[in-house]
Structures are given as C-alpha cells and as structure tokens.
Structure 1
Amino acid sequence: MPAPPKAPPRRPGELGRASVDARFKKVLPIASPLPSNGPFASALVPEHLNELHAQELKAIGKVSASQTLDRPHKGLVQLLKQEQRRRDKNAEREWTWDEPKFDTPLGKRRLRILNSLFLALSKRGHDGDAYEHDGEIHARAIIGDTHLGLDVQIVGSHRTVRQQGYLRPAPDLPASTPLALRLDPGFDRKDTVSWQDDGDSKLESKIAEIAAAIIVGGEKKFRLGLREAEERAERERIEKEKRRQERLAQLNRQRLQNLRTSGELLRQA
C-alpha cells in the first residue's frame, strides 16, 4: 500500500489542516490545531512577520495598475455584470431608478484600484472579491483561509448629493479626488491600517506594498485567531467544569435529602 502523500507546506493565512466530512471521523484522527505560540514557520512562511513582508514584497515585484476593467479579476466579475445589466436597462428606458452605481470617474477608479490589488494578490496564490450593496462597494481579501475587510473611500470633505435616501459623492467628482484604502482585518473597523493618495504618490503606485501588507495581515490574523480559539476553548472547559460541579452538588443535596426522608420514614415506622 503506497504511503499517503505529504501535506503541502502551509501558506500565509492557511489553517494548516485539511477539512473532511464528519463521516470520516471514525477512520481519520483529528489533528490538533497549531499552538498559538508557534512555531509557525513552513517552507513558504517565515517565523517572523517582518521577514514575511520582505519576502512577499520581493515576490510580488513591480505592479502595473489596471488602466481599464476590460480584463477584470474574477472577484469583480459579478459586480461588473450587475453594473452592465443596469446600464443596458438604462439604454432601453427613458428613466429607471436602478442606475449604474460606479459609472462616475471616481467610481471607476475605485474599481480599478481593487482590480489591481486582487490581481497582485492572485500572483501569490491569494484572492479577493467585492459586491455592491446600497450603492457601496463591500470588498475583502482572502489570504489562505483568512478573510480581511477592504474599503476604498474618499479622503476628507467632498461634495455630496442625495440619491434614493442616501448621501453619495457627487457624480462629477474628478478621478483625482484623494482616496484611501483601508485594511479592516476583523470587519469591525478596529486595528485598521490604511494607505492614501499623498501629493504625487497615488494609491495605484502603492499596490505592491499594500498587497504585501495584506498578506502579512492575513497571517497575523490567523495567528491571533489561534490564541483566541485557545482562550475560547479554555472558557468553555471552565464553564463545563462549573456545570459538572453544580450538577454534583445538586446530586449530593438530593442524596442527603433522600437520606433524611428515609430516616424520617424509619422513625415513623
């Protein structure tokens, strides 16, 4: 019988464990998670995050920002198809409430920035996607098995208009309007990191740096998640032991009550 194949080396953000159907639990041993104190190193992941950043930045190399959306990353395809359907409906009718959301110069630039970033991440075997909800872009990066929030928004004050009950950036804002890209690891606007247009240095020139930082962010979130999982398991263990002790105490009280009842019945007899 041939030996089972060796597991591939863990990549940044990966769990390092394979998931199978629960029906196999009787024939396959359950692997314990990686310990939260490491070691984390594999053939593809250095132990220290600053070394991982340098490794990924070098591997990504020079990135040419997307000038158009003619060849979109797969994570933007559905959003762009939805935009095209709105565009087609607009062409068929004199008026429709469901107009394209990102046909402005600035809206198109936001999508191009995400497209450039997703393509840079895919170069390292990672992913990203985005969808539209209530006229806003909701995006995420997928590093291994770890998801992180992304947001591309206008920096500072700008003109707005009210559309369908929401205040939106004015459609005639130029593409040069300053933007910031924010990495939101927990999708909760905590511990965020951001990059923005500054002077002659635009976000488009920082894609490689941002992509490398996001990969490191995915690995960092994975490592923190191990600690949180251990803490959660310990809380559950303590709570389970507390319930067990309470149950034992209840049984002891019931046993004593039964003994007292039996003694009383004997005296009455």
Structure 2
Amino acid sequence: MTTISREALYDLVWTEPVRTIAQRMGVSDVWLKKCCAKADIPVPDRGYWAKLRADKKVIRQKLPPRSPGMATDVTIGTGPRSYLWPPNPEVVLAAPPPTEPTFVESIEAVAVRVDQSLGKIRFVRDLGSAHSLIRHLLDENALRRLKPSDPPYRLRYSEPLFDSPFERRRLRILNNLFLALIKAGHQPWLGEQARNVGVTVGSQKISFTLDHPRARAQASGRIQTPHEAYETLRLEIPATGDSWADDDSGRIEDRLREIILKLIVAGEIQYRANAHTVYENACRRRAEMERRLAEQRDEADRLAREKVIKAEAEQRKMLLRMAADRRAAQDIRAFVAAAITAFGPKKAEESPVAGWTARALGVADQIDPVGRLQITEDGTSIEKPAAAPETEPESQRR
C-alpha cells in the first residue's frame, strides 16, 4: 500500500509509463489508472511515450484543481494495516512528524470555481425522467398503491408515501438537486421515505434535510407533517448551519443553485475541518508518545541506578566476606605453625601430625580468596570457585 500526494503522482505518471510505475508499486496498470481517474489526475494517452522517444511533439495535460472534498493524497494498493498495541513510542516517533494541512485556495475561491462550473440550472417539474433514486421511490410507491384493499381496514404501513402534494413537491425538489449534483460529478444518496438524504462530495458525506419545519417522526417511523400550511418546506445543511425555507422572499425551488453550491462547498469545508482534526490528533498522539518515551527512559535510568547500587552493595558484601576468609586462613596457618612449634621437629614429622598439618593448611588454602581473586575490566572483583580438597589416599588413612 502506497500513499502519495496528488501532485507527486501526477508528476510520476508523466515521467514514466504507467505500467512501469504500477509494477514498482505492486499493482496493475489498470488499477493505477483507476486511482488516477478517481483523483482527477490525467495520464498520458496511448502512443505518448513512443512519440516522445521519436522526438515528436507531445502535449502534457495540466493537473486540474482538486475537486471539493477530494483528498490531497492518493492511496494505491490494498493490504492489511498492522497496528502495534500497546504502541511503541520509539516506532511512532521514528516516523516523520505530522504536517499541518495548508490550502492555497480559499473557500471563497472554491465557491467561485464551483459556481462557474455549474452552468445553468433549470427546475424540472416532470418526474417522468427522474433520477434513479427518485424513480425507485416512485416505483415502490406505485406498488403500495396497487396492494389489494380487501381487508376491512387498510394497514397504514402499506399506504403510499408520496401521493400527497407535499410529498410530491419534496420529490420534485430532491430530483432537481440530485440531477444537478450528478452533473457536477457528485453522488447523492437517499434513505427510507426520502428523509435520510445527502450527497458524497469527493470523500465527504454531506447530509441535509428537506421537510416541514415542524415535521416529527411517529412511533411507526413514518414522518407526520402538520395539516396546516403543509406546503411549507425547509432545507438545512447541518454541517454548515445553512438553511432555506419558503417565505415571502421566495420558495426553495427558486434557490436551487445557491443550495447546490452550498452543498458542494460544504464538502470542501468538512474535508478541511477533518484534515485539521486528523493533524491535531496526530500532534496529540505524538506528544503522548514523547511523554511515554520520557517516562520509559526515566524508568530505565532508575532501574539502571538501582542495579548499580545493588551491584556495589554486593561488591562490598563480597569484599568483606573475602577479607574475613583471608583472616581465617591466616589464623589457621598461624595456628598450624604454633602447633608444629609446640610438637617439636621430630613429632611434626610423624605421619599423624604431618597428615593433620596438611589437612589444616589445605583448609586454609581453600578458604583463602587471594589465590582465586580476579579483577574485571570495569574494576570489580570476582572470586573463582574454590577447588575441591584432594582426598587422602587410602594407604595414608590406614
């Protein structure tokens, strides 16, 4: 999976053949072309590179401005994303820091560009050539109307939904909005009873409402509109807070261009807001990882200090024990020397005394740490294990 900016991908496809780039990215050239088309990035026509190699004149198409709501980056390829949990602060901080999103074109300039691209918008009252979403609602409504009414009473949930003048007017307005949005390159969507309404602008879903100002949902899920002034309609875009209603200055049908413009620009506004939210969340996450890393390093330093203190205490304890063993060995040797002196030279040479003397001096040598002392590179002392005392031959024990 590769994520690249729209501008960088445009430069890439006009520097090398698409097939070569696709192989390097691990995708097919058809897939790469679809990604470019989705991002509104032109690619060289067939024969472009052959003409270029033949030194013939070629034309490099310009990169059009980014459409409202379209992402600034293009993701190419698919694959599982691995998430480490808990996150490793060092891995997170090794990535480049988040870059604050900047947009050269102002929202006002985007609105002017969109307005110029809309062209003339006419209100179509006939639903004979309705948008596919509206046509689907009308077909369902017709089926409801054809249901048999033999039972003594007709179930309300099976009654037609769009036979009243109020609902027909709603559908006509939605139909005109959808047709204009499709023409502008954006995909509308529609929910049950035509109440859950919106349009996908680039990568953003923009919802809006078109209903009576005092419409309320019943327990059955049907929308109930007031009987009085049922022709009154209000359209609202929650993402921007813009709204239009039938009043003395005009009806909603007269403001379709303004509404369509606001819906498309709302996609760009929402995209920019989301981009800043993503950046702020990334900054907070990075700050959190820096805090965790600092805590981990402080904890590691604390454990290292404790290890040094413990090692020093062990060294002191070992030195004191070795010094005590050395004194004990010296005491044994002094005691043996005094005993030999007391026995006299002749008796000291006798077998029992000589054997005792050898065993006593062996014990002294065994506990004396001087012969086993070693100094390491870091200046600490270690003691080799004492050798096992030699077993006295059977002949001497007899």
TM over 0.5: yes
1:13 matches 2:69: yes
Deviation for aligned residue 1:128: 1.0
RMSD: 3.4
SS across alignment from 1:70: coil
How far apart, CA to CA, are the structure 2 residues paired with 1:252 and 1:16? 43
1:146 aligns with 2:204: yes
Q: Any conservation in 1 of the 2:98–2:279 contact (CA below 8 Å)?
A: no
Show CA shifts across 1:167-198 (max 9, x none). 7215x6666x211111122xxxxx41111112
Higher fraction of strand: 1
Match of 1:62 among 110, 120, 129: 120
C-alpha spacing 1:266/1:22, structure 2 compared with 1 (3 Å): farther
Going from structure 1 to structure 2, the CA distance change for 1:21 and 1:86 (only over 3 Å counts) comes to farther
Unaligned runs of 5+ in 1: 26-31, 40-46, 186-190
Cα distance 1:165–1:116, how it changes in 2: closer, same or farther (>3 A)? closer
Matches within 5 A, 1:121-200: 121-132=181-192, 137-155=195-213, 164=220, 168-170=224-226, 177-185=231-239, 191-199=240-248
Give 1:3's aligned residue.
17
2:199 partner SS: strand
Q: Choose between structure 1 and 2: higher helix proportion.
A: 2
SS of 2:274's equivalent in the other structure is helix
The corresponding residue for 2:102 is 37
1:98 aligns with 2:143: no
2:384 corresponding residue in structure 1? none
> SS in structure 2 opposite 1:52?
helix
Percent sequence identity is: 25
For residue 182 of structure 2, what is the amino acid of its counterpart? S
1:115-151 superposed Cα distances (whole Å, 9 cap, x missing partner)? 111111112111211101xx57111121122221111
Letter aligned with residue 201 of structure 1: G
Which structure's relative contact order is higher, taking Cα pairs within 8 Å and 6+ residues apart? Answer: 1
User: Which of the residues 162, 170, 173 maps onto 1:113?
Assistant: 173
Q: 1:262 aligned to 297, 305, 311, which one? A: 311
Q: Alignment length, in residue pairs?
A: 244
> Does the Cα contact within 8 Å between 2:204 and 2:267 map onto a contact in 1?
yes
Q: Which residue of structure 1 lines up, in the alignment, with residue 23 of structure 2?
A: none
For structure 2, the residue ranges without an aligned partner over 5 or more in a row are 1-14, 19-32, 43-63, 82-96, 319-398
Matched to 1:73, the amino acid is H
- TM-score normalised according to structure 2 size: 0.53
In terms of Rg, which structure is larger?
A: 2
Q: Aligned equivalents of 1:19 and 1:153: distance in 2?
A: 38
How far apart are the structure 1 equivalents of 2:183 and 2:205?
A: 17
Matches of 1:211 and 1:120 in 2, distance apart?
8
1:188 alignment partner in structure 2: none
TM-score normalised to the size of structure 1?
0.75
1:246 to 270, 274, 295: 295
